[in-house]
């Protein structure tokens, strides 16, 4: 752990900082000469460059691959491709064989980003005192921005490892080695919420251009993060979860300092779910207000009539309507939801996405994990065959085995279907610049990819076009977070119907044919509330819709863990996870029977360098065996 927190020379920070050359390339890297840190924090330009250094670290390849490994690798979305060795780290982790020696559990990049943020927070007040043109009112929005970036890093870490050091001080030289013990999961969540609530009133609302409003922290993006953290904390509380306890090799621990520790809840799970709903509502209200303002400003609201913005208007649309027709026309590369969200980026729907400009700084890690550009073959990950090979004929089965139904465009957008009977499903999300139907005259279902009218075509990214932004939050997630919190708050039918409304909007966007009057089976193809009018079934629908909507976006494993934490056990979650395992589902369930097994082990090298750290008891084993040998 010392390599994270020991001397982090300002040279490395500024080398990745950029010089704020323009509003559209604020992450561009420019080499700089050596800068002595003590002489650096003199004016607002120094501070602004340091802030950009925080973003550069958070979007570095060292972080981008963590978002995928930590958020997807252990989930039911993916398998290893045939190009990956069956004895590799990836293969073992996918089979629930986790060793603390695996480099994927090295959290160095995240703590490096946190330390950059802490540097800015530590030195910002100095700039207020030294630069007469930079006031405290100028500093407060920056403080809010960097505090939120630090909180985001801690949130990734706590969801992955469970109990982590919560770092709020910066360290610069060899004599200052950060040695922090872990905080419990609840303590970390409490700290994140407290930090975010404190700076929210000072956060920036408008940077003056779309790139910065999508790519930098704003008040809306802080509210997104708060809604997410409240949802996680509510689930932790609802399941009466406790800090990590001794599971194996008691001698590994010193005394009982890492045994069961009771934690008092500052508020009930219900209060946290309600806070999630409140923040989602505030985001929706602000986005609607922004949309109305832009329409009035652009002159599109002829006559100045009062505008009625619907929920569907806040989502990018998959199809467009002909001006004088009742039927839909198919998606085109210029206006489809996929292209707007994942091809072009910074869509109207986006709330916060990490900017990847693709030239001096490119998203090569995503396209090597999801797609091998040089060889035009699968990357390390391919879609789960068991879940994606088939389609459901009806979306109203709460216990469906396949993820998608026959009318869902996301099946074709998330994975590449190139031939009938294929056995390996290459990842399309992010790697394809655009996905469309061959025909321009129909918006019907995509069923077998052989029909001229229905065939999906892919415009793949190239080695010179690795500019896929990493989307952290967009409106569809706000809808689904609100639906999840509402569902947990009450089993009342009216409340569940409210939750269903938000899920339906997300489903409808990607299943336009299911809601067309020309579809003779529309009643069966569209979502029906009667199939999900219980709390249990509504929760299943939300989990299924989140899986469909966010495949490959680093969210599925965290969704499964949150689902398990609400129950305080892994049983129901493992029923979902093990759908992808053809032969060894019982072994997987045995390995993951303990709640702590859902969290990754701490990298051994970090524990060696910091004797205040302790290993997750499930993985506190010798270096050559797996957890299952000690069950």
Arithmetic mean of pLDDT, 327-351: 74
Cα 612 from chain centroid (whole Å): 30
Separation of alpha carbons 41 and 44, rounded Å? 8
Separation of alpha carbons 62 and 197, rounded Å? 29
Let me know: does 377 contact 425? Beta carbons within 8 Å. no
Model confidence at 452, in pLDDT bands (50, 70, 90)? low
DSSP letters spanning 72-129: HTTSSSEEE-TTS-TTSHHHHHHTT---TT-GGG--HHHHHHHHHHHHHHHHHHHHHH
Compute the residue count for the chain.
631
Arithmetic mean of pLDDT, 391-407: 91
| Backbone phi, psi, residue 371, to 5° | -160, 130
More confident residue, 611 or 529: 529
Let me know: does 529 contact 200? Beta carbons within 8 Å. no
Task: Give the number of other Cβ atoms within 10 Å of residue 10's Cβ.
Answer: 23
Question: What pLDDT is attached to residue 295?
Answer: 83
Question: What pLDDT is attached to residue 357?
Answer: 78
Report the alpha-carbon angle 395-400-406, nearest 5: 45
pLDDT tens-place string over residues 218-258: 999 999 999 999 999 999 999 999 999 855 544 334 434 44
pLDDT tens-place string over residues 132-144: 999 999 999 999 9
Residues above pLDDT 90, as percent of the chain: 63
Greatest distance between any 2 Cα atoms in the chain: 77
3-class SS of residue 195: helix
DSSP letters spanning 406-466: TT-THHHHHEE--STT-S-EEE-TTTEEEEEES-SS------SS-STTT-EEEEE--TT--
- Pairing relationship of beta strands 78-80 and 320-321 according to DSSP bridges: unpaired
- Checking if the pLDDT of 305 tops 60, the result is yes
- Checking if the pLDDT of 170 tops 60, the result is yes
Separation of alpha carbons 409 and 404, rounded Å? 9
Question: What pLDDT is attached to residue 246?
Answer: 58
């Amino acid at each position: 752990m010392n390599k994270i927190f020991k001397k982090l020379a300002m040279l490395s920070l500024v080398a990745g900082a950029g010089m704020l050359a323009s509003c559209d390339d604020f992450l561009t890297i420019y080499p700089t000469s050596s800068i002595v840190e003590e002489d650096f924090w003199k004016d607002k330009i120094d501070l602004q460059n340091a802030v950009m250094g925080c973003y550069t670290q958070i979007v570095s390849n060292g972080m981008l691959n963590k978002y995928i490994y930590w958020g997807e690798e252990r989930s039911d979305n993916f398998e290893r491709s045939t190009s990956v060795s069956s004895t590799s780290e990836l293969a073992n982790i996918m089979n629930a064989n986790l060793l603390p020696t695996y480099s994927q559990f090295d959290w160095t990049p995240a703590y490096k980003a946190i330390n950059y943020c802490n540097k800015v927070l530590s030195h910002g007040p100095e700039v207020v005192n030294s630069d007469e043109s930079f006031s405290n009112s100028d500093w407060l929005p920056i403080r809010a921005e960097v505090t939120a970036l630090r909180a985001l890093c801690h949130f990734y870490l706590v969801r992955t490892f469970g109990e982590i050091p919560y770092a709020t001080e910066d360290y610069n030289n060899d004599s200052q080695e950060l040695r922090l013990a872990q905080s419990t999961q609840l303590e970390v969540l409490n700290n994140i919420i407290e930090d975010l609530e404190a700076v929210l009133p000072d956060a920036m609302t408008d940077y003056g251009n779309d790139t910065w409003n999508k790519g930098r922290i704003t008040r809306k993006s802080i509210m997104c993060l708060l809604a997410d953290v409240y949802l996680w904390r509510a689930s932790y509380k609802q399941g009466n979860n406790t800090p990590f306890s001794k599971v194996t090799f008691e001698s590994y621990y010193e005394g009982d300092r890492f045994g069961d520790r009771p934690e008092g809840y500052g508020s009930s799970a219900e209060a946290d779910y309600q806070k999630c709903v409140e923040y989602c509502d505030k985001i929706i209200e602000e986005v609607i207000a922004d949309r109305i303002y832009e329409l009035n400003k652009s002159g599109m609201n002829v006559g100045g009539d009062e505008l009625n913005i619907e929920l569907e208007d806040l989502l990018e649309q998959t199809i467009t309507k002909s001006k004088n027709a009742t039927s839909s026309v198919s998606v085109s590369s210029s206006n489809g939801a996929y292209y707007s969200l994942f091809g072009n980026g910074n869509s109207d729907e986006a709330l916060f996405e990490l900017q990847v400009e693709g030239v001096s700084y490119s998203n090569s890690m995503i396209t090597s994990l999801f797609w091998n550009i040089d060889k035009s073959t699968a990357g390390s990950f391919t879609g789960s065959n068991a879940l994606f090979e088939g389609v459901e004929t009806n979306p109203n089965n709460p216990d469906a085995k396949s993820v998608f139904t026959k009318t869902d465009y996301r099946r074709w957008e998330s994975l590449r279907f190139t031939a009938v009977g294929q056995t390996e499903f290459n990842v399309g999300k992010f790697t394809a610049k655009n996905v469309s139907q061959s025909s321009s005259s129909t918006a019907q279902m995509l069923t077998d990819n052989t029909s001229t009218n229905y065939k999906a075509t892919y415009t793949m990214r190239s080695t010179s076009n690795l500019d896929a932004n990493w989307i952290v939050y967009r409106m569809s997630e706000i809808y689904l977070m609100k639906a999840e919190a509402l569902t947990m708050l009450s089993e009342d039918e009216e409340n569940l119907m409210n939750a269903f409304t938000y899920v339906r909007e997300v489903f409808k966007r990607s299943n336009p044919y299911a809601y067309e009057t020309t579809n003779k089976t529309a009643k069966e193809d569209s979502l029906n509330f009667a199939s999900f009018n219980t709390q249990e079934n509504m929760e299943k629908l939300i989990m299924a819709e989140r899986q469909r909507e966010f495949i490959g976006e680093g969210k599925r494993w965290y969704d499964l863990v949150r689902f398990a934490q609400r129950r305080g056990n892994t049983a129901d979650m493992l029923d979902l996870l093990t759908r992808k395992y053809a032969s060894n589902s019982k072994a997987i369930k045995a390995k993951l029977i303990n709640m702590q097994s859902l969290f990754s082990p701490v990298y051994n090298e970090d524990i060696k360098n910091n004797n205040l750290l302790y290993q997750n008891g499930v993985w506190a084993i010798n270096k050559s065996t797996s957890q299952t040998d000690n069950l």
